[in-house]
Amino acid sequence: MFGHRRPPPSTLVTGAAFGAVAGHAVTYMVAIPDPLTRQLFLAATGHGYLPAVVPAALILGIFAGLSTVIRHLGGDRESSADRWTWGRTIGTLGLLQCGIFLAQETIERIAVGAPPETLFRDHVLPIGLLVQIVVAVVVTLVLFALARTVEAVVAALSRRGPAPREGRSLAPVPMAGLRSRLVAVAGSIRAPPAITSSSLV
């Protein structure tokens, strides 16, 4: 389960965006192993912008990880109806990433006027969809590992606490009782005797 919590849409979207860009790069490395041939093919199919997108994708991936950590710092668990399984998270990320990949490839070719059939050259489309699913599994594993690690640390820290000393009680004192005690102590304190002018003669 996803740390026993439903991942928020922001985590899913940013994680999927990061995974889609990572899968995009891996797809062409697998489909076209030769670097020079791959570079020429990418330039002809509208992929010249990819180097500028990679830093943004890394930022989105970091955001997905940080949001997972922050969300699980509370340590509380939601009801079973709100829990997400591994398969559900992988399926959601996989669908989002495949959708992004298909839209990205289509828009790239339309922008530069590349033939649509280039999407099927060198088995780019089937390899790309398969890679997106694999990357979705990896992203899910990372998010699950972060969630479990944070919850384990929070649980360990919550169990550790200062042990009460023997013979002393750490029960909180009610404010009303504390106030009455302070009033009683203040009333029992005598003021110093007044010094008159005759006593100085």
Q: Does 121 fall in a domain? A: yes
User: In the prediction, which pLDDT does 85 show?
Assistant: 80
Count of structural domains within the chain: 1
Helices 9-31 and 124-159: crossing angle, nearest 10°?
Answer: 140
**What predicted TM-score, i.e. pTM, was given to this entire model?**
0.72
Range of the domain at 142: 9-159
Q: How many CA atoms lie within 13 A of 190 on its CB side?
A: 3
**Cα distance between residue 21 and residue 100, in whole Å:** 9
Q: Does 61 fall in a domain? A: yes
Per-residue pLDDT band for 106 (boundaries 50, 70, 90) equals very high
**Cα distance between residue 86 and residue 137, in whole Å:** 9
Among 94, 91, 98, 70, residue whose Cα is nearest residue 5: 70
Q: Does 129 fall in a domain? A: yes
Read off the pLDDT of residues 81-105 as tens digits, 9 standing for 90 and up: 456 688 889 999 999 999 999 999 9
For the chain, percent of residues with pLDDT exceeding 70: 71
Q: Does 13 fall in a domain? A: yes
Among 138, 147, 151, 145, residue whose Cα is nearest residue 15: 138
User: In the prediction, which pLDDT does 142 show?
Assistant: 94
Read off the pLDDT of residues 141-174 as tens digits, 9 standing for 90 and up: 999 899 888 888 888 888 875 555 555 545 554 5
Q: Does 98 fall in a domain? A: yes
Q: Does 196 fall in a domain? A: no
Read off the pLDDT of residues 16-65 as tens digits, 9 standing for 90 and up: 999 999 999 999 999 999 999 999 999 999 998 888 899 999 999 999 99
Q: Does 51 fall in a domain? A: yes
Pairwise pLDDT comparison (85 vs 139), residue with the higher score:
139
Q: Does 197 fall in a domain? A: no
User: In the prediction, which pLDDT does 150 show?
Assistant: 86
Read off the pLDDT of residues 110-130 as tens digits, 9 standing for 90 and up: 999 999 899 999 999 999 999
Contacts 24+ apart (CB under 8 A), 107-110: 107/46, 108/45, 108/46, 108/47, 109/45, 109/46
Element (H or E) spanning 4, and its range? none
User: In the prediction, which pLDDT does 197 show?
Assistant: 40
